[in-house]
Amino acid sequence: MDERLIVIVGYDTAELLDIACVTTSLAMANQIGNLAHPYRVSVASPGGNPITCGSGLTLQSQQPLERLTGPLDTLIVSGGLGHEQAAADPRLVGHVRRLAKESRRVASVCTGAGILAATGLLDGRRATTHWRYASQLAAQHPQITVDSSPIYIRDGDVYTAAGITSALDLTLASSKMITAPSWPAKWRGTWSPTCSDRETRHR
């Protein structure tokens, strides 16, 4: 059974919820979705070091970002209090850019959009981020059309999600969990994105 590899990039003071919303949603999909191609989720960090999240909790990375190779189904960059330092780290940004070329699609959660912006992957695209950081992202990267209104935006094969828990909406929708025929109707209703009408597609 072929698996779809999903890699979440974490770093010092990443937001735990940015990571957990994705991992828990996909774990639920595997458990009750009867998927032909289940998800295999992995968390990567610079050097494979433990991730001290913004809350102070420590999350164990599963592999070093530097040693990770594709092909990947999806590369997801988390947000968090350390997003500015991460975006200023040329090694981290370089590996995200490298892995994006080996991924079917790329996504960011919350302020993780700033890291994607640093790679150049958002140039010429529409993107969203946490509303509090939207003006900062737009000022630093005028080549990006920043829109803080949607819960998430899909522009081609690049997805950006707004605030922290919007990662749940993005994951559910992008994995098509809410419409999968193999999902019981009661689960499709329970896990429907809360604001699916606020998704924006482009291209």
* Helix/strand/coil for 57: coil
Q: Catalytic site residue 53? A: no
Cα 94-107-103 angle, rounded to 5 deg: 65
Burial 119-144 (b: 16+ CB within 10 A, else e): bebbeebbbbbbeebbeebbeebeeb
Q: What is the CB-side half-sphere exposure of residue 101 using CA atoms within 13 A? A: 7
H/E segment holding residue 19: helix 16-32
Residues in CB range of 139: below 8 A, 6 or more apart: none
Which of the residues 21, 53, 110, 195 is marked catalytic? 110
* Helix/strand/coil for 147: coil
Show which residues are catalytic.
110
